[in-house]
Structure 1
């Protein structure tokens, strides 16, 4: 059994962990695909499928470009013809759109607010590490009424290399003064858990509220729970 008593900080992935990934992001990604294909609905649907959407299951697949990638990755998929300054401008445009729309459409995981407040009041230092932009993560946390609960919010554009590289967790450790071994990383995709292992985190916790199954997470997670709502009991913070 992992040593939960050694954990002093919890770093959360955002999409699929704090917010319902598919309900929040499908309409945004679909709108971006329509724009990329000049309104051609069939081509837009095909592009979203290439981004990882399973039209039968009506969800994005675990580890897909949309589920696990950054806005830069999605721009490269949706607009492969762009390079240099045009590519950078499109990434900036995607960042602006996803910041606004991600916050406006954010659907919180059931029990999120209570869980976050219980962990925080119990003395845990909390953070967000996402492959969304930092501005997007801040806007979503604010929209959910939880912006003041997070010690640090870290986007893909806050570090040299985003998940699955260790940079985001190491930055959280630096900002909080915690050793990586005192930090638990919580996420719904293996790139979250891969970052935890690469950074030397104390725990890699998988959640089933996003795009991955228990089987997909089992090889990389120390612990798997249904959602963040289960975390206060796991850490003995019942507030």
Structure 2
């Protein structure tokens, strides 16, 4: 499926939640608190809202490509507050964004081997970026909380670009920021919308990881390669130099 060899890749753009950090461990408590706020403290309604947003109570996890797993805070607010006036909607979005930036950084649980993988990729010469449907402030706050800020060249949130994932805008923004072409960039993510972003932008490579919400059978039809996690990326890219993978 890849239209460029790995040797053409010069930069790697990562989804954040489910790719760099454990989505369910990081975001369940935050989402539950926001659902409770939206429900006015009615626990049954809050449970229904969380399920509507994508939480599978029986499985104990968020569903792949669900609103909470893949959407923006604006998508969540529109789902939970469909009748809000423009002024009320804007206020709720600000409230949710502020809470998510603060608590998302505080609660962030990195995937195993994250720092080592990012450092190895930097040593291999790759520029790294984050493209998330969280806010740009949320991406920066999480990286800072995990002590990873210096490893990233660019931070892209849903509010950084005109159109967030699955549109091509995040990849194109990263290309402009790095001075590269989209085909020099690999997009890494755990949800179909990450792979759709890569294809829409004509990125050089789409890499799915199984550390988040999507199983292999969901990602494989959309990805050029599917890996257990970002911890496997340095080995994948090191292999290109040995000519053992295209």
Give the shorter-chain TM-score range: over 0.9
Task: Work out which of the residue numbers 99, 110, 133 in structure 2 matches 1:131.
Answer: 133
Is residue 190 of structure 2 the alignment partner of residue 217 of structure 1?
Answer: no
Q: Which residue pairs with 1:228 in the alignment?
A: 230
Task: Work out which of the residue numbers 71, 74, 87 in structure 2 matches 1:72.
Answer: 74
**Separation in structure 1 between the aligned mates of residue 219 and residue 165 of structure 2, nearest angstrom:** 16
Misfit runs of 4+, over 4 Å: none
Q: Which residue pairs with 2:178 in the alignment?
A: 176
2:130 counterpart SS class: strand
Pairs aligned (count): 237
Q: Which string of whole-angstrom CA distances, capped at 9 and with x for unpartnered residues, describes residues 29-50 of structure 1? A: 0000111111111110111000
Q: Which residue pairs with 2:207 in the alignment?
A: 205
CA shift, 1:86, in A, is: 1.2
CA shift, 1:85, in A, is: 1.4
1:158 counterpart SS class: coil
Question: Aligned-pair RMSD on alpha carbons?
Answer: 1.0
- Aligned residue runs from structure 1 range 22-171, under 5 A: 22-171=24-173
**Separation in structure 2 between the aligned mates of residue 206 and residue 20 of structure 1, nearest angstrom:** 15
CA shift, 1:83, in A, is: 2.2
**Separation in structure 1 between the aligned mates of residue 167 and residue 232 of structure 2, nearest angstrom:** 27
**Separation in structure 2 between the aligned mates of residue 232 and residue 139 of structure 1, nearest angstrom:** 25
Q: Which string of whole-angstrom CA distances, capped at 9 and with x for unpartnered residues, describes residues 100-125 of structure 1? A: 00000000000001000110121100
Q: Which string of whole-angstrom CA distances, capped at 9 and with x for unpartnered residues, describes residues 18-77 of structure 1? A: 000000000000000111111111110111000000111111000111011000000111
1:185 counterpart SS class: strand
Tell me the TM-score normalized by structure 2.
Answer: 0.95
**Separation in structure 2 between the aligned mates of residue 90 and residue 145 of structure 1, nearest angstrom:** 30
